[in-house]
Amino acid sequence: MKRDDAYLKLLGEKFPNARKAGAEIINLRAICALPKGTEYFFSDLHGEYRSFIHLLRSSSGIIRDKIQETYGNELSEQEQLELANLIYYPQKIIEEKELNKTNTKEWQKLTIHKLVHICSVVSHKYTRSKVHKKMPQDYAYAIDELLHVDEDDADKRMYYREILNSIIDINRGNDFIKALCRLIQNLTIDNLHILGDIFDRGPRADFIMNELMNFHDVDIQWGNHDVSWMGAAAGNPACIATVLRIAISYNTFDVLEDGYGINLRPLSMYAADVYGDDPCECFQLHLLEQNVYDEINPDLAAKMYKAITIIGLKLEGQLIQRHPEYELDDRLLLHQIDYDKGTITIHGKDYPLKDHNFPTIDPQNPYALTKREQELVNILTASFTHSKLLQDHIRFIYSHGGMYKVCNNNLLFHGCIPMNRDGSFMEVHTKQGPKSGKAWFDYIEKKIVDAYFSDPCLEKEKKQDAVDFMWYLWCGPKSPLFGKDKIATFEHVFLSDAQVKKEHFNCYYELSRKEEVVDRILEEFGIDPLHGHIINGHVPVKVTDGESPIKAGGKLFIIDGGLSKAYHAKTGIAGYTLIYNSRHLALAEHRPFVVGEENTPTIKIVEQMQSRVLVRDTDIGKQLLEQIDDLTQLIEVYEDGRLL
């Protein structure tokens, strides 16, 4: 692109002469010639912090491979495993060695030597400057020197030994080992992509968020479970009820009370009072987790589960009535109940209710909250909107997230592109006109931003409309984050009939198996179909039923393999990591995480690059090439004397 003199003059403030501009060109061209960094793609973490943190620290098994590559002929399998565990959990392993008196100076020297070699292997495709920036600053000089010592030079060998001896003699061996372990982890994953659903089901989504906030390069594509928490943080009562219902039903009280400081005592007191004699048999918890800080009696928890479910159904009904454009009248079920017979009519058919004790529902006005319910909702809303940690986490999700991301010829999103049976993009009527495909995604992203950041004093109606919309995105049929014809919360809890509980997926999930459909979607988002992929999650891949995460001739990857414990029985595995390095795309198939056992995923290369992908071939590379062009023009005007 030809730049005008005004632009070049501004650029000249940073590079005041041709020599400095030339030096930067040399640097940028060298970077462009390096192999691209390794990208990792995760989806549907669902609060499973133990599994995710292990996968993150182990780089989904890649660090184990690097150890094998470096020390396969020198260390036994057990020794390699011990070295791997040290890299993943240095603090824990060092504490164990302190206890059993094996943390000797000799062990520290040998360990540092091994870690330096591993570090050298994982850093070889980065510039020395980039590696230096990732080093813990207190030890950057020493690490840099150890990484670049020529061991064939006798003087340099003495220099190397003296650095090691100094580290040990001043009792910094443990700290130095931890620093090297962190550096190896940071160098193995260059970019981290999270394709939605960080929250719900698992025990501690807050721990995952803390880990992501400390990671050096991460982006998030919002999922429907994330959006329900974002809506709750923005003060949407229906989203708050949804978040609480799911957390209580999966017995994950710790994330609510210990993690985010949500005060559940008012809800527990209310539930005990209103449903004191009710066995709440339909509201038994999924006891997948054991709370550490907040053990609640299962009988009381079941009452809380029922209380918040009824409140949620009322709040959702109010939202649906307030927004006829959502076209969700079929989800207005409370007025379809015959409270005397204990049945409900759905699509003209009567179904017996498994539970018909509804002391807080007025049959004449079933969606109205009682006075006590409204007071409870107000308290819970204040608790969510005033939780500092939750608000910090939600702001991070906003600042590092979006509905989708186009990155290095890959289209990343959580759920689906809503489609019609004929393969056309489903059209949605909005206040700004009809939207479909990419335009629908862009419209949604703006509404999500408005829900959290609009000023309620200046834009009250706009703010309320956007906050309400967050609940629709959680479960609306045309929401790309949900992608089903209905959310059958009521049916799953109160009815036995399997057919009426069924939730049918949008046509996208069937149509996207076809390569031509994926090509059309890629073109819609400005990606060349010859080189592009779609990567998304949301729907667990049932490996036990013979399903594959790779579809459409290798152009579509669905990487939700069920990290959540709730899905292990259905999927047979525990999720996937998609790994994209300079040579290939690979899938890491996770095994269910068990503390103290070997948890290294199985890695399978699924696409080999025709030629090694260099930095110049990436999105960042395109930016660097533009900078090189600008600097070349700057040198020309310096040489012409037009810029003095």
What's the pLDDT tens digit per position in 265-306?
999 999 999 999 999 999 999 876 666 666 788 899 999 999
pLDDT at position 431: 85
Question: Stretch 209-224: mean pLDDT, rounded?
Answer: 95
- In sequence order, the 6+-apart residues with CB closer than 8 A to the CB of 624 are 28, 31, 32, 615, 616
More confident residue, 7 or 471: 471
Q: What is the mean pLDDT of the chain?
A: 90
The tens digit of pLDDT for each residue in 476-493 reads 999 999 999 999 999 999
The structure tokens listed for 504 are 């049918």
DSSP 151: T
pLDDT at position 314: 98
Tell me the C-alpha distance between 149 and 146, whole Å.
Answer: 6
Residue 249: strand, helix, or coil: helix
Q: Tell me which residue of 577, 574, 573 sits closest to 557, measured CA to CA.
A: 577
Tell me the C-alpha distance between 471 and 466, whole Å.
Answer: 9
Would the pLDDT of 160 be above 70?
yes
Among the residues of 199-354, which ranges form H helices?
205-213, 224-233, 237-249, 253-254, 265-274, 298-322
Among the residues of 250-297, which ranges form H helices?
253-254, 265-274
Among 292-306, 370-384, 622-636, which is the least confidently predicted range?
292-306
Q: What is the residue type of 602? A: T
Q: Tell me which residue of 435, 420, 402, 410 sits closest to 522, measured CA to CA.
A: 410
The tens digit of pLDDT for each residue in 513-562 reads 999 999 999 999 999 999 999 999 877 666 556 678 889 999 999 987 56
Would the pLDDT of 137 be above 90?
no
pLDDT at position 569: 59
DSSP H helix total and E strand total for the chain: 27, 17
Among 116-125, 179-188, 583-592, which is the least confidently predicted range?
583-592
Tell me the C-alpha distance between 228 and 414, whole Å.
Answer: 14
pLDDT at position 456: 85
pLDDT at position 625: 96
Question: Stretch 336-352: mean pLDDT, rounded?
Answer: 95
Question: Stretch 464-471: mean pLDDT, rounded?
Answer: 96
Burial of 215: CB neighbours in 10 Å, binned 0-12, 13-18, 19+: middle
DSSP readout, 164-205?
A: HHHHHHTT-HHHHHHHHHHHHHHHH-SEEEE-S--SSSSS-H
Tell me the HSE value of 24 on the side-chain side, using a 13 A CA sphere. 21
Q: CB of 634 within 8 A of CB of 625? A: no
pLDDT band at 597 (very low <50, low <70, confident <90, very high): low
First-to-last alpha carbon distance for the chain, in angstroms, is 22
Question: Stretch 329-343: mean pLDDT, rounded?
Answer: 95
Give me the sign of the Cα torsion angle 382, 386, 390, 394. Answer: positive
Question: Stretch 459-479: mean pLDDT, rounded?
Answer: 95
pLDDT at position 124: 83
Would the pLDDT of 165 be above 60?
yes
Pairing mode of beta strands 343-346, 337-338: antiparallel
More confident residue, 205 or 153: 205
Would the pLDDT of 463 be above 70?
yes
The structure tokens listed for 372 are 């006590």
Q: CB of 52 within 8 A of CB of 563? A: yes
pLDDT at position 360: 97
Among the residues of 454-479, which ranges form H helices?
460-475
Residue 594: strand, helix, or coil: coil
pLDDT at position 242: 98
The tens digit of pLDDT for each residue in 174-204 reads 999 999 999 999 899 999 999 999 999 889 9
- Nearest 5°: CA angle at 537, between 535 and 542? 115
